[in-house]
Amino acid sequence: MTGLAATSGNDLTTADGVPLKVSLSRAQRRNKIKAVLLVAPLFLFLLVAFILPIFDMLLRSIDSAEVVTHMPNTVRAISTWNGEGVPEEAVFAAAAQDLAAGSRARTIGKVASRLNYEIGGMRSLIMKTARKAKKLESGPYKAALIGMDKRWAKTDVWQLIKRESGSYTLSYYLAAVDHKYAADGSIEAKPENLQIYVNLFFRTMWMSGLITLLALLLGYPVAFLLATLPMRQSNLLMILVLLPFWTSLLVRTTTWIAILQSQGVLNDLAVWAGLITDENRLQLIYNKTGTVIAMTHILLPFMVLPLYSVMKTIPPTYMRAARSLGATGFTAFRRVYFPQTLSGIGAGSILVFILSIGYYITPALVGGQSGRFITNFVAYHMQQSLNWGLAAAIGSLLLATVIVFYLLYNRLVGVDNMKLG
């Protein structure tokens, strides 16, 4: 009876009375430590080089500490203002003090840039006033500041300072989706001629979709050949598929320029063959066509390899079985082979699509004006306009899009089925 009790229920013990679960976890601890130590270097590297920068980027897209850090007195004084008319003397006094201090410490430029993102001209207003405020010794400050620049009498300038006096802001995200705060603090669309990002987002998405589709149409037969040809031919074909991988991205992209430009190889051949006249050379590059052609080529291996690895696991006997059961070659393919490659199609498509919407160099080089992707504007704001907050906001939206597609894929196909070569 006692023997039965010991083997039923949760309190199993080992021969010397230690609970089995305790004993098991003790035995596994050493293996766990080993596993952690093996993973640790890569994990630390990823943490420092990847995860932390992403969090920094996410923070930067909502960070708005410039005003509160460098104009602390103004922020405190303006908090009691009701937002109508012009603030009272105390706010002007605090502003004059902050501007003078900021000018001496050379930090006021950050505030000027930050506020200039929201209303054009704020940079010159702040910089000019700060320079003059250093010489200002006594009040009344209200009259003095308005005397320096009439814009200090405008309500929307002070409304802007009050709105951006918090540590965090949504204005970068609003800008990234072509919206802005109206003077009264409500959210409104930007004027139509200034709306660029939403259109760019959609253009990036549908062009990436097109590139994915083209890569699938071109890659599927190649992967099929790779998986079914005898070893010697398939190895040769594999080298051809991988060759682009071993060539510099820049070289591949500039090669497409040489081929596609209006005085390039393709147009020359078409003119020579009499397909088009010399005056009507096709514009194949520096537009959407150029981006689609070059990126389809560059991303093709990412479609072929997952397809190949899935097709490699499908024995040829399935097709033979289907044919012996009375199916024509096409029916056998459609009903037996194709369904088994769906996980490869899913893996390749999601990979190409995600890589594509984040692609930068190729659209920058061959896209011209119309073939640019959203990433080209991220780069522009990082390098040219130095509006890192906006760049971070666009980047975060891009990241969110990728995550949405990934989750969608996981729901539909299952990430477990994702095989990459």
Partner 1 sequence: MREPLTSEVPREQAFVRFSNVQKSYDGEILVVKGFNLDIASGEFITLLGPSGSGKTTCLMMMAGFETPTHGDILLNGEPINTVPPHKRGIGMVFQNYALFPHMSVSENLAFPLEVRKLSAAETDRKVKRALEMVRLEDFGDRRPAQLSGGQQQRVALARALVFEPEIVLMDEPLGALDKNLREEMQYEIKRIHEDLGVTMIYVTHDQSEALTMSDRIAVFNDGIVQQLASPAVLYEQPDNAFVASFIGENNRLIGDVIELTEDCCKVRMESGAIIEALPVNVSAAGTRSTLSLRPERVTINPEANGLPNLFEARVIEVIYLGDHLRTRVAVCGNDEFIIKIPNAQTHPVLTRGQIITVGWAREDCRALDA
Q: Bridge partners of 168?
A: 63
Angle between helices 52-60 and 388-412 (to 10 degrees): 120
308: exposed, middle or buried (C-beta count within 10 Å: 0-12, 13-18, 19+)?
Answer: buried
Residue 318 contacts partner 1 per CB under 8 A: yes
Q: Report the alpha-carbon distance of residue 352 to residue 86 in Å, rounded.
A: 55
Dihedral angle of Cα 110, 116, 118, 122, to the nearest 10 degrees: 120
Pick 199 or 331: Cβ nearer partner 1: 331
Provide the token pair at 366.
């061959």
Pick 32 or 334: Cβ nearer partner 1: 334
- Interface residue with partner 1, options 325, 386, 415, 420 (CB under 8 A): 325
CB of 348 to partner 1, least distance (A): 18
Residue 322 contacts partner 1 per CB under 8 A: yes
Residue 321 contacts partner 1 per CB under 8 A: yes
Total Cβ atoms within 10 A of residue 375 = 20
Residue 3 contacts partner 1 per CB under 8 A: no
Interface region with partner 1, contact rule CB under 8 A, candidates 75-83, 158-166, 278-286, 335-343:
335-343
Pick 322 or 365: Cβ nearer partner 1: 322
CB contact at 8 A, 346 and 216: no
- Interface residue with partner 1, options 33, 139, 320, 403 (CB under 8 A): 320
Q: Bridge partners of 189?
A: 179
Residue 79 contacts partner 1 per CB under 8 A: no
Pick 120 or 315: Cβ nearer partner 1: 315
CA-based Rg of the chain, rounded to a whole angstrom? Answer: 31
CB of 372 to partner 1, least distance (A): 41
Task: Give the Å distances, CA to CA, from 393 to 170, 173, 177.
Answer: 9, 5, 9
Interface region with partner 1, contact rule CB under 8 A, candidates 42-50, 209-217, 317-325, 392-400:
317-325
Runs of H (alpha helix) within 134-196: 141-148, 155-163, 171-176
Pick 182 or 321: Cβ nearer partner 1: 321
Positions in the binding site for partner 1 (CB under 8 A): 315, 317-318, 320-329, 331-332, 335-336, 339-340
